[in-house]
């Protein structure tokens, strides 16, 4: 991947100042979830990961078209590879998100918010979980930008999508077969939630269910990103 292209994406986004509002919201969220101690390890990290999903969704929808359409075409002509251009945008979003979820991981662990210290394998698991939630948020967020939606309808539509994805389906549809089938069509945000909250401060083991979560989350996200690139390239041909 062209590092200069990624740096260009990040610097252009920084100059646009679109990051200010979501970063302020993140700061409030960070203060809120760390306002007391001690706190259950896994419930805390699950809440943080959901916050990262929403934040990545927001950043993804704003960074992906921080340039106007004319400037995007100029950049694509310079790169000479439209697919590479779009992939660089996705990678730029993920790089932008890294400091934020690293703060959510390290802050409570280093400042004694938990009842015990984390094992190295648990730190690794938490890092993987937050990265995957960031990837899922990005893969959904890129579809909600001015290239695909009218600006007047985009904000309420984004709010509705976030609500449907973040709130457990059994709270909306009840615990029935319909909710279980619909869950397979949505990002597996709550796939691991019950387990993490049940663990409280117990020891997390990277087992087969965790591997399934990794495969399902990564596969879902990469499939969405592939669909996005296909649609945006198709649009650019017209």
pLDDT in tens, 160-214: 677 667 766 555 555 667 666 766 777 777 767 777 878 888 889 888 889 988 9
Of 137, 124, 225, whose CA–CA distance to 188 is shortest?
A: 137
pLDDT tens-digit map of 215-235? 999 999 999 999 999 988 887
Report the C-alpha gap between 44 and 108 in whole angstroms: 9
pLDDT of residue 190: 73
Contact, 179 vs 173, CB < 8 A? yes
Specify the pLDDT at position 10. Answer: 93
For residues 181 and 93, which has the higher predicted lDDT (pLDDT)? 93
Residue ranges of alpha helices (H) inside the chain are 3-16, 20-33, 41-63, 69-79, 82-110, 120-141, 151-166, 169-172, 177-183, 193-199, 208-236
Q: 102-141: per-residue pLDDT in tens?
A: 999 999 988 888 888 999 999 999 999 999 999 999 999 8
pLDDT of 227 reads: 93
- Reported confidence tier of residue 94, pLDDT bands at 50, 70, 90: very high
Residue 163 lies in domain:
3-236
Over residues 138-160, the mean pLDDT reads 72
Based on the structure, what is the number of domains in the chain? Answer: 1
């Amino acid at each position: 991947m062209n590092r200069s292209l990624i740096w260009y994406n990040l610097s252009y986004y920084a100059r646009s100042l679109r990051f200010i509002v979501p970063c302020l919201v993140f700061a409030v969220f960070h203060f809120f979830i760390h306002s007391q101690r001690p706190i259950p390890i896994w419930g805390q990290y699950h809440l943080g990961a959901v916050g990262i999903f929403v934040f990545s969704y927001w950043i993804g929808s704003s960074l992906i078209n921080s340039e106007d359409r004319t400037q995007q075409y100029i950049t694509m002509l310079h790169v000479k590879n439209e697919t590479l251009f779009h992939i660089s945008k996705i990678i730029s979003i993920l790089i932008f998100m890294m400091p934020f979820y690293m703060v959510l991981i390290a802050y409570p662990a280093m400042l004694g918010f938990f009842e015990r210290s984390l094992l190295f394998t648990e730190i690794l698991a938490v890092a993987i979980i937050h990265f995957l939630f960031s990837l899922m948020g990005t893969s959904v967020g890129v579809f909600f930008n001015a290239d695909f939606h009218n600006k007047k309808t985009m904000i309420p539509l984004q709010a509705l999508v976030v609500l449907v994805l973040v709130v457990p389906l059994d709270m909306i549809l009840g615990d029935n077969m319909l909710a279980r089938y619909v869950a397979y069509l949505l990002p597996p945000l709550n796939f691991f939630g019950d387990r993490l909250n049940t663990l409280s401060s117990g020891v997390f083991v990277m087992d087969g269910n965790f591997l399934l979560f990794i495969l399902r989350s990564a596969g879902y996200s990469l499939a969405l990103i592939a669909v996005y690139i296909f649609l945006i390239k198709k649009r650019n041909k017209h």
